[in-house]
Amino acid sequence: MAAIGSDHERTLAGSPVRPAPGLPHAVESARVAARTAARASVDRTWPALTFETMGTMVSLRLADSDAHTVGESARVEAAELAKAMFRRWDERFSLYRDDSELSRIARGDIRLTDSSASVRDAYALALTWRDRSNGVFTPHRADGVIDLSGVVKALAIAEAGAALTSRGLLNWSINAGGDVLVSGEPKGRFGAWEFGDGAMSTGHGVAVPAVVTEHPEWVVAIVNPAYRGDVLASVPLRHPLRAVATSGSAERGEHIWTALNGELSPFRQVSVFAADIVTADVLATAIVAGGEATLNEMTARFAIDVLAVLRDGQLLATPGLHRAE
Amino acid sequence: MRARAVALATLASVSIVGIGWQLGSQAIDVSQSLTAFTGGTATAATVTATTDAAAQAAATAKAAADAAAAAKAQADAANTAASAQAAADAADASTAAANTAATAQAAATAAAASAAAQSGTFTGAVVQTQFGNMQVSVTIANGAITEVTPLQLTNRGGRSVAISNQAAPILRSEVLAAQSANVQSVSGATYTTQGYLRSLQSALDTAGF
């Protein structure tokens, strides 16, 4: 594995992205970092909670403060809660499971009109996005089977996030197979309080926000589809664009075909930043499938930022993703 | 919908004719508002066109027609009534203007002159929308709007702010790199469970960043 930036302009040499090119080394240094972090009680960094679902992995992070507040058991409990939600969506919607409701609909065992409300809601949502994308995004497979995988993972992420929030966990990050939704901040400024004194003359300790360090934002790295140990950009998920999803062919190596005439997609990879994960996920898929026309229409119609990688490796980006200096 | 548009247009025409009959050559200011829903995401743009005939008008009569129909249907229906034609055309124009800013819903208020002042070119007021300032010029001939020219679409030299969000070629050195060492997540094409083990995300997760 080549070092970051070796075969590119030296854009990342000075970038703040944490280099992790040689993964064995990265993992080892990560373990060292984790051990070091564990010794520092205040700045304790919790490892991500990971679990497998929907054929991929979910990485869940709770901010230091939240994890500190709720303790290890509640933290694991929160992860179990999120896991259960992903499992529920998977059990109902996976076409890889013969006993899922969607598989039964595909076989004709039950009619769509007799299906559960959540299936019909998800189908209606997918149809809405089909219309919004002028048919580029579609919940129908070529053979006519209803395939809701285009929205289900995102819906599961959104639901898991809402569940964490409803439990008072306000600072978290959920990454399901490369689709990321965040809330609050990694250091947990929201809801994170510590006691200081002297700010008021009451003689009582005054609650002040926990120290906000110089890195208060959730930052997501966009992977280089040509070389997945490399990072193209690292973007803070600032309000209101708190979700990002990436579509492309890099991971599994298959070609992406356009929706309309069977031509190859001009895009090797498309990342969409949006306010919600469903929008990000659907539009990333739609832009890959619909090509440049869809890209231009969607950036005009929706409040999104897009980083697209053309087949020759060139980048297209909306102004929001331009480096400031 | 179409029947309703025709009915309302007819009603508007009857009102105008009736009042015009009474007021003789006095100018009539007719305001019509209509809303066109053409589907897609809803953003509202308002286009206002006023005629200077209003200043001369001794009396003002207003006929308001609400038509919730597709712009095409309105245009068809409007063939039966000149005033409705004006309104429908204005709606088309506002929709067209809004389309450049990627909007699908437009609300237009058009004021048409009476029989005595039904020809000429009129400039509407500047209306602020979420896409910037909008302003149109309307040419009316024999009671029908023959041309609508967008004078100001947005605040960026006639280009839509939304269009300015277009993804453009960018060098890798110009793309955003957060000023933070803390990258907690990696976004890429969906990795498989096996792929995860080789991914940057896996390394980050192990590290607990």
Q: Which of B130, B164, B173, B186 to mutate to test the interface with A (most CBs of A within 10 A)?
A: B186
**Average pLDDT rounded to a whole number, residues A294-300:** 95
Q: What are A138-160's pLDDT values in tens digits?
A: 999 888 999 999 999 999 999 99
Rg (CA), chain A: 21
Instruction: Tell me the shortest Cα–Cα distance from B185 to chain A, in angstroms.
Output: 5
Residue B60 confidence (pLDDT) = 31
Structure confidence at residue B202 (pLDDT): 78
pTM of the model: 0.59
Partner A contacted by B167 (CB < 8 A): yes
What tokens appear for A261 in the block? 């005439």
Tell me if B189 and A37 make a contact (CB, 8 A cut-off).
no
Mean pLDDT of B175-204: 78
Give the separation between CA A176 and CA A2, rounded to whole angstroms. 27
Closest-CA residue in chain A for B203? A27
Q: How far is the C-alpha of B196 from the C-alpha of B23, rounded, in Å? A: 80
Mean pLDDT of chain B: 55
| Whether B177 and A250 lie within 8 Å, measured CB to CB | no
ipTM of the complex: 0.71
pLDDT band at B158 (very low <50, low <70, confident <90, very high): very low
Residue A15 CA to residue B72 CA, distance in Å, equals 54
Average confidence (pLDDT) over A184-203:
49
pLDDT on residue B58: 30
Tell me whether residues B183 and A307 touch, CB distance under 8 A: no
Which is higher by pLDDT, A223 or B61? A223
List, in order of start, the domains of chain A with CATH numbers.
48-184 (3.10.520.10), 216-325 (3.10.520.10)
Mean pLDDT, to the nearest integer, of B24-31? 39
Nearest to A18 among B164, B199, B209 (CB): B209
Instruction: Select the residue from A228, A279, A295 to test the B interface by mutation, using most B Cβ atoms within 10 A.
Output: A228
| Mean pLDDT across chain A | 79
Q: Which residues of A touch B204 (CB under 8 A)?
A: 18, 20, 30, 48, 59
Highest mean pLDDT among A268-282, B26-40, B170-184: A268-282
- At A97 the pLDDT is 94
pLDDT in tens, A35-60: 444 333 344 456 788 999 998 999 99
Quick check: B32 and B87 in contact, CB under 8 A?
Answer: yes
Closest by CA position to B163, among listed A168, A278, A301, A108: A301
Residue of B154, B176, B197, B198 to mutate, interface with A, max A Cβ within 10 Å: B176
Quick one: B5 exposed, middle or buried, by C-beta within 10 A (0-12, 13-18, 19+)?
Answer: buried
Cβ-based contacts of B41 with chain A (< 8 Å): 132, 301-302
Residue A59 has what pLDDT? Answer: 94
Instruction: Identify the pLDDT of residue B193.
Output: 72
Domain ranges across chain B: 2-152, 169-207
